Amino acid sequence: YNRLIRPVSNNTDTVLVKLGLRLSQLIDLNLKDQILTTNVWLEHEWQDHKFQWDPTEYGGVTELYVPSEHIWLPDIVLYNNADGEYVVTTMTKAVLHHTGKVVWTPPAIFKSSCEIDVRYFPFDQQTCFMKFGSWTYDGDQIDLKHINQKLGDNKVEVGIDLREYYPSVEWDILGVPAERHEKYYPCCAEPYPDIFFNITLRRKTLFYT
């Protein structure tokens, strides 16, 4: 097993990576620096055919937990980062399923740039986004889809998982849609997919009155 090689049988095959975002805390929205700081889990899911096995031959074991630095990982990064930390830095374990499915959900604190409009302060709403994509692979090598995306639809109405969210004292969350985009550049014939996780916030006015 070579962790540097994409998990495909044929080099022309595409690895489908499903991406999800779980928001646990909205740490800060800095109006002056225009930076949103969030505490998240970034869900990655893909197939690695080399990790398929028959549970009946291994005492009924259906999944394994392995250090993520021992396996191939998609290099998904936050494109609109605001502090130089593009990537996840905590290398948590990945879950290998006997079907070949790999699930890796590392935690991260991301600082993303966000265009702020304070004209209506303290009655303002702000919409920020976090843009994720592969750093080195094009769309023919890694296809990127939202983990809850339906066939033929690039939009996901509830695009961020808020089940573990610890509410902010300063902001209410109004909406968290996500959308998949595909860009083409003059240099190349291949598409470059990305996923935007949007978050619309409304200031809790009582916080200032």
Q: Reduce the DSSP state of residue 71 to 3 states and report it.
A: coil
Domain of residue 119, residue span: 15-208
Q: What is the pLDDT of residue 85?
A: 66
Residue 209, pLDDT score: 59
Report if residue 24 sits inside a domain.
yes
Q: What is the CATH number of the domain that holds 97?
A: 2.70.170.10
SS3 116: coil
Considering the domain boundaries, does residue 80 fall inside one?
yes
In a domain, 53, yes or no: yes
Question: What DSSP state is assigned to residue 85?
Answer: -
Task: Tell me the average confidence (pLDDT) per consecutive run of 10 residues in the chain, 209 residues long.
Answer: 88 94 95 93 96 94 95 94 73 94 95 87 87 93 95 93 94 96 89 96 77
Name 176's Cβ contacts closer than 8 Å, sequence gap at least 6. Answer: 23, 158, 159, 160, 162, 197, 198, 199, 200
Q: Is residue 29 part of a domain?
A: yes
Q: Does some domain include residue 125? A: yes
Specify if 4 maps to a domain. no
Domain tally, the chain: 1
Block residue for tokens 């089940």:
163
Kindly tell me the burial class for residue 109, based on how many C-beta atoms sit within 10 Å of its own C-beta (0-12, 13-18, 19 or more): middle
Q: Is 31 inside a domain boundary?
A: yes
